[in-house]
Structure formats: structure tokens, C-alpha cells
């Protein structure tokens, strides 16, 4: 029988999916079609329909290995006024088709193209070896072309936009979360 801690770690289906790909040397990433341009239910539904087509095309073309979602995502960012905000978006989890650095590069390139098409500022990638999470800033971002380190993966945590100290982060309060049902992961140092 699993202890509660083991169940939380081993019983998390999203973590199992991520760990499976990482253990086989395949990086993962995330992209969302949502934003200010999806301000009505009809536009939101259409955006999700279109990104699913784009992800499936990328999979069939061999640029990514597969995708799942949408997963409920929470992303912390700084507003134009400089205040910390949390965005709630439906995001798609993607894994690289090929192992190693070449597979990672191909996946990030494909995600960036999809993200640009869907008017996103960033896409997320998590390196298979180091589990370093990074935001890749796209054409709609003021930081276009930059790659921003977002920390390591941690599971079953909640976003807290006021997490400033390492102690608060260690208590399970991070900066970027993807949720699968009641399960989540976040990236922070």
C-alpha cells in the first residue's frame, strides 16, 4: 500500500505522463491558444479547435511526438503596470518525438510556430535531462527572441503571485502550473 506522500507523487497522472517522456529522453512543452483575442465563448471554442488541428498536423508531420489537453493552466506574469498577475488558461502538453537535444530543438521550433500563429507571447519547454523549465518569448512578446529560465518542475502545487521567498516557494507555491484534473506541476527555483 502506498503512503499518502507516495500516492501524491506516484498517483499523479500528469506527473506519470511527464516522467514517462522525460525518462525516455524526450522533452515536454506547453502552448495555449487563449489570450485577449479569445474574449468571447465562441472565439475561445474556435481557438481551441484550431490549435488542436495545428498540434495534430505537427504530430503527423513528425515535429512533435504527441499532445494532450487542454489542461487547466495558471501562469504568473508581470502586468504592464509591474504588478504580479495570474492568468488562467487551457494549455496543451506536448512531448518531443525524438530523444535528446535534436528532438528538444524540433519541438521548441514547432511550439514557437504554433504559439505565434495563435498570438501567444510565450511557450513553455522543459528539458528532458535537467528538467529546466523555460519560457520562449515569441513575436507578440516585448521580450521577443529571449529565453527566460523559470526553474525546475515540482508537482501538486498552487500558484501564489505573492511568493517571494525561497521558503514560500518550497511550501509549494510556484510560478507556472499546468493541471490535469486535480493534479498539477509548477516551475520555480
List, for residues 47-104, the tens digit of each pLDDT value: 999 999 999 999 999 999 999 888 776 666 667 787 777 777 888 889 999 998 899 9
Q: What is the mean pLDDT of the chain?
A: 77
Burial of 9 (0-12, 13-18, 19+ CB in 10 A): middle
Angle, vertex CA 113, rays to CA 125 and CA 187, nearest 5: 15
Res 35: pLDDT: 83
CATH code for residues 25-188: 3.30.70.120
Res 7: pLDDT: 46
Here the cell at position 4 is: 499518502
Maximum distance among all alpha carbons in the chain?
Answer: 50
d(CA 58, CA 49): 15
Whether pLDDT at 183 is above 50: no
Identify the band that residue 172 occupies on the pLDDT scale cut at 50, 70 and 90. Answer: very low
d(CA 123, CA 121): 7
Res 157: pLDDT: 52
**pLDDT top residue among 10 and 94:** 94
What Å distances lie between residue 111 and 8, 30, 104, CA to CA? 30, 8, 10
List, for residues 121-144, the tens digit of each pLDDT value: 999 898 888 888 888 999 998 899
Whether pLDDT at 21 is above 90: no
- Which helix (DSSP H) or strand (DSSP E) does residue 28 occupy? strand 28-31
Question: So where are the chain's domains?
Answer: 25-188
Q: How many CA atoms lie within 13 A of 159 on its CB side?
A: 19
Identify the band that residue 107 occupies on the pLDDT scale cut at 50, 70 and 90. Answer: very high
List, for residues 140-159, the tens digit of each pLDDT value: 988 999 998 887 765 555 55
Query: What's the predicted TM-score (pTM) here?
Result: 0.74
Res 86: pLDDT: 73
Q: Mean pLDDT across the stretch 17-39?
A: 83
Res 160: pLDDT: 54
Res 167: pLDDT: 47
Amino acid at each position: 500500500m502506498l503512503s499518502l506522500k507516495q500516492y501524491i507523487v506516484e498517483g499523479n497522472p500528469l506527473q506519470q505522463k511527464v516522467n514517462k517522456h522525460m525518462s525516455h529522453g524526450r522533452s515536454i512543452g506547453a502552448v495555449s491558444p487563449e489570450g485577449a483575442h479569445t474574449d468571447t465563448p465562441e472565439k475561445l471554442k474556435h481557438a481551441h479547435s484550431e490549435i488542436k488541428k495545428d498540434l495534430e498536423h505537427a504530430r503527423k508531420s513528425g515535429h512533435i511526438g504527441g499532445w494532450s489537453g487542454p489542461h487547466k493552466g495558471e501562469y504568473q506574469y508581470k502586468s504592464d503596470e509591474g504588478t504580479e498577475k495570474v492568468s488562467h488558461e487551457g494549455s496543451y502538453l506536448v512531448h518531443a518525438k525524438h530523444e535528446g537535444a535534436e528532438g528538444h530543438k524540433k519541438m521548441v521550433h514547432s511550439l514557437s510556430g504554433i504559439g505565434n500563429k495563435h498570438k501567444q507571447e510565450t511557450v513553455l519547454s522543459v528539458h528532458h535531462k535537467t528538467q529546466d523549465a523555460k519560457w520562449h518569448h515569441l513575436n507578440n512578446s516585448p521580450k521577443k527572441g529571449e529565453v527566460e529560465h523559470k526553474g525546475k518542475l515540482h508537482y501538486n502545487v498552487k500558484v501564489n503571485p505573492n511568493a517571494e521567498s525561497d521558503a514560500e516557494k518550497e511550501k509549494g507555491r510556484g510560478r507556472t502550473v499546468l493541471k490535469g484534473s486535480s493534479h498539477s506541476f509548477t516551475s520555480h527555483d
